[in-house]
Amino acid sequence: MLTGAGISAESGVPTFRSADGLWNKFKPEELASMAAFVANPKMVWEWYNWRRELIANVKPNAGHFAIAELSALLPRFTLVTQNVDGLHALAGSRNIVELHGNIGRSKCSDCGLLVPEDCHIDPSAIPACRGCGGKIRPDVVWFGEMLDPNIIDAAFREAERCDLFLSVGTSALVHPAATLPVVAKRHGATLIEVNLEPTPLSAMADISVQGKSGDVLPVVVEALKRRHRLSPSGEPR
Ligand code: BV8
Ligand code: ZN
């Protein structure tokens, strides 16, 4: 399963490309890139602090909780997310593959040393790394940056071997994440998309449901339980 910003929209976290999305006010390249950080680290940290503050005051929604339940109902389940908001873990999902990092973590932009999570960053006085003196940055993957090879390789391995691939709440525009459902389909998986609007995936999906993930996913979980008469613990009755 792959999730994108749409899964967190009902929690109040703005998505990137929808009408009221984050990118409408800012351009990704202007903020979520190393070039932006080098040019204007203060502005980039102001933006991330604003997002951190927003995320600190939201909660997982029914879509996140349904996914957490799904993982307990299926023999093998891998959740890959493009999101950096940490809401899947808060909803109880486990062994989550965070493709683009986590906005709650900060690291050294030179040596990658992580800094304690409670380290508040003052954009006007960005701390230096204890190890090498490098500037501290958010521990997320910016545009133009490679993803962690171990993380993206694990995601592709799961996509190649799964029987069913669910793509939920993503515009399927950002690569390499957007290639995962295509690879799954090419390896014979059934591809189901749940998204508010059509995406480049919709035409190739076996089933494309246009709707809110917070409405659709709980229905899927209830249907799965009824169909397999699985108890909430996932054991056959
Ligand atoms: C890479 C972390 C190799 C940061 C993010 C030119 C130069 C450099 C690179 C490129 C280039 N051209 C292409 C690339 C590759 C680039 C890319 O894909 N660009 C796109 C925009 C064309 N990718 C990269 O740079 C990646 N690295 O390729 O390295 C390389 C290196 C150099 C040169 C070439 C290649 C790194 C990409 C990672 C970027 N980091 N986030 C941060 O968050 O601050 S990406 C960011 O977008 C978020 O992680 C987000 O998750 C992700 C994808 O967006 P979505 O999740 O899909 O969100 P979006 O708003 O778009 O869509 C939400 C959907 O939900 C909508 O369709 C909406 O209808 C729906 N929805 C809304 N509400 C609901 C809903 N659905 C259901 N229910 C609802 N309630
Ligand atoms: Zn360092």
pTM more than 0.85: yes
144 Cβ below 6 A of ligand 1? yes
Query: Cβ neighbours of residue 159 under 8 Å, at least 6 residues apart?
Result: 80, 165, 180, 181, 183, 184, 187, 189
Query: What per-residue confidence (pLDDT) applies to 75?
Result: 85
92-150, pLDDT tens digit by residue? 999 899 999 999 999 999 999 999 877 789 999 999 999 999 999 999 999 999 999 99
Lowest mean pLDDT among 11-15, 19-23, 201-205: 19-23
In angstroms, the first-to-last Cα distance of the chain is 26
Which amino acid, one-letter code, is at 81?
A: T
- Indicate if ligand 1 lies below 6 Å from the C-beta of 3: no
Nearest CA to ligand 1 atom 19: 174
Residue 18 CB less than 6 A away from ligand 1: yes
Predicted pLDDT of residue 60: 98
For residue 82, how far is its CA from the centre of ligand 2 (angstroms)?
Answer: 25
pLDDT of 73 reads: 86
Query: Which residue ranges form the domains of the chain, and what is each CATH number?
Result: 2-230 (3.40.50.1220)
Q: What is the model's pLDDT at position 230?
A: 54
Mean pLDDT over 44-53 rounds to 93
Give the C-alpha separation, 99 to 145, whole Å: 12
> If you average pLDDT over residues 174-191, what whole number do you get?
98
Active-site position among 100, 120, 175, 228 = 100
pLDDT band at 21 (very low <50, low <70, confident <90, very high): low
Residues in the 5 Å CB sphere of ion ligand 2: 108, 110-111, 113, 129, 131-132, 134
Angle formed by the axes of helices 179-186 and 149-161, nearest 10°: 30
